Amino acid sequence: MKIKAVCVLTSLLLVLSMTLAGTMTFADDNAVPKGRLISQIDYRFVGHLEQLDDEGRLLVWEGSIEGDLTGKMKWWFVNPAPVSGRTYMGGKVNFYAARWEFWDGEELLLVGESAGKTVFPDGADGMWDGHGVVTEASGEFNALDGRKVYETGPVIVGSEPPVSFSGTGLFLIY
């Protein structure tokens, strides 16, 4: 009976040690600086400038980012949008697919793709919400390649819409 108990205990300890070793290895292989990166973004509409990239995407938003990431952001929208805007009783929803870029001075450090929507209730400010993934990372951010992204914030309607659209929101890489 003692031998059977020792064998069972030894087997359990072996399985437990293998499980912990595997978890530690996995965590080390996929380590992300600070686990997740959370930053505030302050953005403004620049689509009226009609600036296109080499892929024909329209530069729609530019902004600053501060927090775990600090620098400048750009969002280049696929044109036309993947789904046309829709009017509903009480407002309108617009959809987008975009390439986003994170710049530190003149250095492009992160690139990703995102898609989402902006909802504008009639006569009111809108709310933007998108999800995506990091597709390119360089330097100290290499470990972020392939990580998910969440971006959101209000779209404040200024005195000359859409030229005066702006807002402050959240940019999260996890």
Q: List CB contacts of 139: < 8 A, sequence separation 6 or more.
A: 107, 109
Distance CA 137, CA 112 (A): 9
Cα–Cα distances (Å) from 94 to 42, 74, 120, 121, 150, in that order, read 20, 19, 8, 11, 17
Per-residue pLDDT of the chain (174 residues; tens, 9 = 90+): 555 444 444 444 334 343 334 333 333 444 456 589 999 999 999 999 999 999 999 999 999 999 999 999 999 999 999 999 999 999 999 999 999 999 999 999 999 999 999 999 999 999 999 999 999 999 999 999 999 999 999 999 999 999 999 999 999 999
Rounded to whole angstroms, the Cα distance separating 43 from 61 reads 6
| Beta-strand relationship, 148-155 and 126-137 | antiparallel
Q: Which of 140, 56, 126 is nearest to 94 (CA)?
A: 126
34 dihedral zone (left: phi>0; alpha: psi -120 to 50; beta): left
Give the predicted TM-score (pTM) of the model.
0.80
